[in-house]
Amino acid sequence: MGDKQAVEEAESTSGRDRLKRDFEILSVEKLAKSFGGLRAVSDFDLELKAGELVGLIGPNGAGKTTVFNLLTGFYKPTSGVIRFAGYDVHGMPPHRITEYGMARTFQNIRLFGDMTVEDNVKVGFHHRTCYGIADALLRRRAFRDSEAEVAQKTGELLDLFSLADKRGEPARSLPYGEQRRLEIARAMAAGPRLLLLDEPVAGMNRSESRDLMALLRRLRVEFDLTMLLIEHDIKFVMDICERIVVLDGGEIIASGSPAEICSNPAVIEAYLGSGGSTPGGGGMNASR
């Protein structure tokens, strides 16, 4: 009987998984953003299925970070539709969108520098903590229970990210690589279904970035995550992503599997060919 139950359970999970895989967690149509006269992003379409790991690449100034800022609600789009987890999140304030299950890291690390490592992660849990201000002031049961739970989950996350022994230190005192890891841990605390990573391995050496890649793979499985990541390190992107979207001059110039992208002449001209490291290099020229 136990066996039968287990089989049934396995079947239903795989069924759910299939459902989840097909589920379109993010769908973006004709997204555009202009700053004054500058069209930073235009005609941007993107569909992410639950569980996918997609890379967003492009030369400097291509509009990648702007796409993240639009998705998270930090910028209001000039036009376009963003549907996330079945909701139209267009025009919602960022904190609401986070509640629906989107979290991100930043290109230039934005930790809460004077707060401890532990408290940084705890802020990520904030919107999932459901006791009120009065509960906190009166130290009611809801406060104590919830805080104990947050402390425990924070401990788990810190262990997972190998930051447990730094928990009491101010975030600004961490070395660079650990700050990057802490930022991801903090984003994970927000309980995302979609994680946006803006250049997660920028400034890391080979072994650090290999470790991070393993960690991201693990997160993806353990937390059922969908990931969209921006990265300049082509090797990293090719290794980890299943699908790559190439942006140039604010528009998508190619998208497909790593192999397809590698051999796409437009991509080679706009991005790979330029060496990829000169700021505002090939991309800008190609777009004109």
Partner 1 sequence: MDFAVHHVTYVCILLMLTGGLSLIHGRTGLLSIGHAGFWAVGAYTAGFVINRLAPDLLAADATAGSRLLSVAAFAAAVVCAMLAASLCGLLVGVPCLRLRGDYLAIATLGFSEIIRVVIVNAESLGGAAGMRVPAVVCVGDTRRFVFAGIAAAGAAFSLLMVRNLLSSTHGRALISIREDEVASQLLGVNVTRYKVVSFVFGAALAGLAGAVYAAYMGYLAPREFGFMKSVELLLMVVLGGIGSLTGTVLATVALYIIPEALRFAEWSVPVWSLTDAGWRRGSVELAELWMVVYAIILIVMMLLRPQGLLGSWEISRLWKKPNQRPDATG
Ligand X SMILES: Nc1ncnc2c1ncn2[C@@H]1O[C@H](COP(=O)(O)OP(=O)(O)OP(=O)(O)O)[C@@H](O)[C@H]1O
Q: Which of partner 1, Mg ion, ligand X, none does residue 60 bind to, with CB < 5 to 8 Å depending on kind? A: ligand X
Interatomic CA distance for residues 43 and 174, integer angstroms? 40
Rounded alpha-carbon distances, angstroms, from residue 10 to 3, 5, 6, 15 = 10, 8, 6, 8
Residues 6+ apart with CB under 8 A from 114: 170, 171, 172
Could you say whether residue 65 binds Mg ion (CB under 5 A)? yes
Shortest Å distance, C-beta 107 to Mg ion:
5
The partner in contact with residue 35, picked from ligand X, Mg ion, partner 1, none with C-beta cut-offs of 5 to 8 angstroms by kind, is ligand X
DSSP-assigned beta bridge partners for residue 47: 27
- Give 155 or 276: the residue with its C-beta nearer to partner 1: 155
- 63 interacts with, out of Mg ion, ligand X, partner 1, none, CB within 5 to 8 A per kind: ligand X
Least separation in angstroms between residue 48's CB and Mg ion is 19
Does residue 40 bind ligand X (CB under 6 A)? yes
Residue that has been written with the tokens 């990931």 in this structure = 227
Note the helical H segments in 223-276.
234-240, 258-263, 265-267
One symbol per residue from 90 to 129: x for binding Mg ion (CB under 5 A), - otherwise; what is it?
-----------------x----------------------
Specify whether the CB–CB gap between 132 and 197 falls below 8 A: no
Q: Which stretch binds ligand X (CB under 6 A): 34-42, 98-106, 253-261, 263-271?
A: 34-42
> Binding of ligand X at residue 109 (CB under 6 A)?
no
Cα–Cα distance measured from residue 285 to residue 288, given in angstroms and rounded to the nearest whole number: 5
Half-sphere exposure of 113 (CA within 13 A, CB side): 7
Candidates 8-16, 19-27, 58-66, 207-215; binding stretch for ligand X (CB under 6 A): 58-66
Q: Which of 62, 111, 197, 227 binds ligand X (CB under 6 A)?
A: 62
Backbone angles phi, psi at 260, to 5 degrees: -60, -45
Q: Is 13 helix (H, G, I), strand (E, B) or coil?
A: helix
Closest CB 199 distance from Mg ion, rounded Å: 7
Kindly indicate which of the ranges 15-23, 33-41, 155-163, 218-226 contains the residues binding ligand X, using the contact rule CB under 6 A: 33-41
Q: Which does 138 bind (CB under 5 to 8 A by kind): Mg ion, partner 1, ligand X, none?
A: partner 1
Tell me which of 28, 64, 121, 187 binds ligand X, using CB under 6 A.
64
Contact 194, 101 (CB under 8 A): yes
- Residue 262: phi and psi, rounded to 5, are -60, -35
Residue 66 in contact with ligand X, rule: CB under 6 A:
yes
**Cα separation, 253 vs 102, whole angstroms:** 26
Closer residue to partner 1 in complex, CB, 131/269? 131
